Amino acid sequence: MSFPTNFVWGAAASAYQIEGAWDEDGKGPSTWDMFTRTPGKIWEGHTGNIACDHYHRYKDDVAMMADLGLKAYRLSVSWPRVLPDGAGRVNDKGLDFYDRLVDELLSKEIQPWVTLFHWDFPYALFLRGGWLNPESPKWFAKFTEVVVSKLSDRVKHWITLNEPQCFIGLGMGNGEHAPGFKLDMREGLLAGHHALIAHGRAIEAIRSKSKQPAQIGWSSAGGVYYPATQSPEDIAAARQATLSVYSESVWNNSWWCDPVVFGHYPEEGLRAYGEAAPRFTAAEMKVISTPMDFYGCSIFFGVAVKASSSGSVVIARQPPGHPHSHYLWKHTPTALYWGPRFFTERWKLPMVITENGMSNSGDWVSFDGRVHDAARIEFMSSNLLQLEKALREGVDVRGYFAWSIMDNFEWAEGYKHRFGLVHVDYETQRRTPKDSAYWYGDVIRSNGGALDKFASAGTDAPPYVIKETMRYINAHLSEMFNIKDLAAHMRCHPDFLSRKFKKHTGVDLSLYIRRIRIDHARELLKNPDLLIDDAAEQSGFTDRIHFSKVFRRLTGQTPGQYQRQFRVERDASLHTPLKPKNPRSVHA
């Protein structure tokens, strides 16, 4: 087993969670610096004032990363460390820290991936309205220009925003994160709209100021739902749940990602949010959709769903005793297969897994001086095997960043959770690489080959002919073709191709083609204004009657019956029996 030759293997952290030095060398306060002073907001009153003291120990930390074999490190730049007032005066000492950090990484042949905003908003700008201020995108663009002008001669990979679903939903929705607001949906979505404009402005700034060709993306964090079974009905239910917008929550994917990729909010979202949806201009949407190069996403776990007898999406309950992390997030490695599959189907951008990891309650230094975290090795190996499966089936994933390089400040949870590959003793600041860190180093050096011993017997990678067949089918869904056409493309006999496909997938090739076409048609028919004839044609059917028969045979509904559930008025509720909540919320 191996990953693509140029696959990026890395680990991640963020400024507030590891740097400390909260008021040193001219740094201004962030909203998190102020929020952690509020009694009762952070577990046991912890703060990030010192955290992992990375600001003073970065050289040793980078040396440790190199010893572990990291090829890339995803860091974030603290906005108020560089611009103490959020705008205007540049703090040279703060900017110089990141200059030295980048040099240190490159000296160890570790590729820096720089995130521009990972939640530590300048307190001075918060006092001017923060993300609610329509000037906030310009503030962020100016900050971006300062950082890119300094670092872009050496930094090629940039991430604009980290997880807007979190810093808007938790910071401005339920008040559990900084700045601690409990705004109504209208105000929260307005702040989110400004953040999306800031994302676009940042891309413009990077393209304008970068001293070398840049690779730019962002990091989203909406939930992943995966099918309880492999039935077409459950797969369609999981896709629907993953891509739907829910009227009572900002925890979703499409409301945030459709504007960034397509230049418009999803119609389903506009109906779900109704009058709470922000007013916007065509010019704003053009900025928001400034082209980016990759789609980053944090995936920690998924939720199993299935289609009910009535056709709605319902949660498939896990049996008692199902394994979970210290955070009580279920161990569901298949999320790292279905999430990338659904996301690339919709947004058609190369993917990077920007965060994936687990909080383990058993991470302590043993008598032998080591940290034995077998559960994390099991978690990462099973997740990476699912990611490799997605790659084999043609999903374009370019990299994987483990969360996190070291234990750190876990926001409202303080130091309760340990996500790191490296154990941190916060009293002494001693670093102890865990067993998982050494294991991950082996995975990196072997480019995934070390995962072979974790793969079940009989799970050999399918040959090229199977992967190319799957890729061709997905790439030509709107075209009319049959197995003979596929075989001609593959330069083999149709019978050979059919036998080979059945042997390696367990599914008849003709049935597989029909299922993929109907899955595509289901997604199209979520648009209540689309004609069924058009859905049939765009799914590769020339005969509506034949399309309707196949659709009913595979789904139990006619195309019209399926589409009817989406024909609702703008102010009607569209949510399913699911009630998504951000998993970082203590009330989730």
Report, as residue numbers or ranges, the catalytic residues.
Answer: 163, 355
Q: At what angle do helices 509-524 and 464-475 cross, to 10 degrees?
A: 30
Distance in angstroms (rounded) separating the CA atoms of residues 586 and 588:
6
- Read off the DSSP letter of residue 109: T
What are the Cα distances from residue 458, in Å, to 462, 504, 507? 11, 10, 16
> Read out DSSP for 111-166?
EEEEEEESS--BHHHHTTTGGGSTTHHHHHHHHHHHHHHHHTTT--EEEEEE-HHH
> What one-letter code names the amino acid at 515?
R
Sign of torsion over alpha carbons 237, 240, 242, 245: negative
Return the SS3 of 75: strand
68 contacts 441 by C-beta, under 8 angstroms: yes
- Read off the DSSP letter of residue 412: G
Q: Which residues of 294-325 are buried (b: 16+ CB within 10 A; e: fewer)?
A: bbbbbbbbbbbbbbeeeeebbbbeeeeeeeeb
> What one-letter code names the amino acid at 283?
A
Residues 6+ apart with CB under 8 A from 562: 311, 522, 525, 551, 555
Distance in angstroms (rounded) separating the CA atoms of residues 139 and 194:
11
The DSSP element (H or E) to which 73 belongs, if any, is strand 72-76
Measure the N-to-C terminal CA separation of the chain; round to a whole number of Å: 37
Distance in angstroms (rounded) separating the CA atoms of residues 115 and 99:
14
Q: How many CA atoms lie within 13 A of 116 on its CB side?
A: 33
